[in-house]
Structure 1
């Protein structure tokens, strides 16, 4: 269900009034949070400057063999992100990259891109022109989503969450529905094609919508140290403001699969690997230097901008992900701040398939029902601009290309 706000300034004023009444000492609590975030960010920056890893890395073979250590899991939950190595064989990922290149070239995607729909989602970001293609239904994308390997990796990630709390079961972590997403194909030498720091999965809703407030109930009550970013309570019930490219499924982790070698400097992903940084973002907007009808620049139907003017301590932790090889994957918690480097100074393409981790729940099942006709007809999925590039594409994947697992993940009735 979509949230509708008719008078946004009034809604923000009301929300801030209520939240400050709930937390009369919001100034003092924020100072505590700020000190904790500065400590975390400085620690991450120190590690990075010493050349030590700041984003946990896990071998897929360890996931498959169930030998991921408790220390590794604790690190992923603290950082809110991880790289999973060798989910796919390198040769397979490289073949997928070639197949996608042939698919878009054979179908003259370049000409269609001249008439694509305007995507307003990133419009408030300082850098807002990523090299992302509105292609969802190529053979490699469908194959990767339904693969046993990636499914196993995503089940592992889903299980990091508390799927049951407060006497309720929120989702089934062992079933992974499909959220069809796009491609990034970024040529070397591209400039100003990045994304500045932001969060997905809700902007002004986080302060205004009732279930979002429940997600962050411990933050807004001042018990921020008890806040668990991996507690799924109320997350499957939140209502987003409808907008092209706003995700209306519940993702435990956003993610992508590397199709080419890429690393720092190659126009790649950057993260603020602090899982509970949302505590700072939420309370920052309640402080007295922010206008009563403003939430640090948050806009409905947009990515939630993270700005140095308001969130400077967090930027010290902003770090590029490590060198990725074809077949590696990276995942980040749905509340984690992320960005994309503006310039690609490498020598080869920086290509990925966006494939997130999701669990089975009523919210996600409802989206599958809306997404399935798009797959059958080659249209853009409901959450994305209605470019519908692939309607007449030769070689587009169809229901016949789905395995039994893929059909279940897409919501195809047997």
Structure 2
């Protein structure tokens, strides 16, 4: 970080420390989080589910129980099975592979190596993520009615009320064009160490984030509600390739292959209020005055064993998911991708999050639509622009009426 940002961090930490006894507050949060982590670890060790699971059919038919909704809110994560038929997902997987091969993506990617540095500070660097946004499988999955209904269900888990009206419209969603992961079996180098997206040092210094986390910073962390949407759409993130400019109620992906423990795929710490530990940890006396436990502008927010060992014990792998299943997690959840893929098949996904209608997301969607029309990389990401001349990429003629609305067209 440059000296100007370091000075701002010092000033911000001094102000936040003046609001409460941060040592006592952190100890209380730490005790709570350690109990959560212990419970998560015990469930995982005994083979019990640590991440709530439900069927898309139950969402479609309005049969999701209040108990299950509560469990999702507590954990901050969900596995929603069967959003797409298995055969559909497998066909998309094959089509996406052909799109990559027919357009000689690998050769072109080598020529542009180094443009995307978002994950460079994490232990294992960038996994086998392809800088593609407009393949037909990605576009078709984003604009599917079943995906829209799934995201509507997830958006409605939030309390959208605010002093100026609804913070966002839970029933309408903009498409956020993200990339795709195709991880080879046997890979041992291309994981992602535990981290959060959607802001790093901003979580302490941005005024909207400070309002979101107000109870944590002001001495009543038990009153913090991870699902209160007020101010969430008003945050400003440090501009950098791969820092998300949209507000996402959930990050997520759709599985194109079977994958689970040992397959080099996703792990989570399923505790929606674990962010309180993270925020208060950076305000303790053993952390340098100009440091926030390593938070760096324009990079993923790393969960470092040096600072966050207490909470990392709760990191658990997702269960086995099948093609067409989807995985979702709250934007404040720590997650990782395992360093070793010891399975026998590719672990392939399309990244699709939930990004509801609000002014912030609409502004981004309109910029994104211009990139879509030209085949350029989505605005949040490094300007690799592979698909400008790719054969078979999706065009405006491939968009349904829903797809056009989601793209701000």
TM-score interval for Structure 1 and Structure 2 normalised by the shorter chain = over 0.9
What is the deviation of 1:126? 1.1
Equivalent residues in 2 for 1:155-174 (5 A)?
155-166=152-163, 168-174=165-171
Displacement of 1:165 after TM fit?
A: 3.0
The 5 Å alignment of 1:41-80 reads 41-80=37-76
Instruction: Point out the more displaced range, 382-391 or 107-116.
Output: 107-116
- 1:348 matched to which residue of 2? 345
Q: Which runs of 4+ in 1 moved over 4 A?
A: none
1:92 is paired with a residue whose SS is: helix
> Unaligned regions of 5+ residues in structure 2, if any?
none
Match of 1:38, SS? helix
Question: Which residue of the other structure, out of 94, 105, 110, is the alignment partner of 2:101?
Answer: 105
Please state if 1:95 is matched with 2:91: yes
Residue aligned with 2:39, SS: helix
Residues 185-217 of structure 1: CA deviation (Å, up to 9, x unaligned):
011111111000000011111111111101101
**Following superposition of structure 1 onto structure 2, how do residues 2-401 of structure 1 map, counting pairs within 5 Å?**
7-23=4-20, 25-116=21-112, 117-166=114-163, 168-401=165-398
- CA-atom RMSD in angstroms: 1.1
Distance (Å, rounded) in 2 between the aligned partners of 1:331 and 1:351 = 16
SS of 2:251 mapped into structure 1? strand
**Range with bigger deviation, 361-370 or 114-123:** 114-123
2-structure distance, mates of 1:106, 1:402:
23
Residues of 1 paired with 2:2 and 2:400: CA distance? 42
Query: CA deviation digits over 1:139-187, x for unaligned, max 9?
Result: 0100000000011000000000011134531000000100000000011
Would the alpha carbon gap of residues 408 and 285 (structure 1) be closer, same or farther in structure 2, given more than 3 Å must change?
same
Q: Which runs of 5+ in 1 are unaligned?
A: none
State the secondary structure of the residue aligned to 2:263: coil
Q: Deviation of residue 124 (structure 1)?
A: 1.2
Secondary structure of the corresponding residue to residue 173 of structure 2: coil
1:6 shift after superposition: 7.1
Contact in 1 for aligned 2:256/2:323 (Cα 8 Å): yes
Distance 1:313 1:19, change over 3 A: same
Give the TM-score normalised by structure 1.
Answer: 0.97
Contact 1:129 1:192 in 2 (8 A): no
**Normalised TM-score (structure 2):** 0.98
Q: How many residues align?
A: 408
Instruction: Work out whether residues 151 and 176 of structure 1, in 8 Å CA contact, stay in contact via their aligned partners in 2.
Output: yes
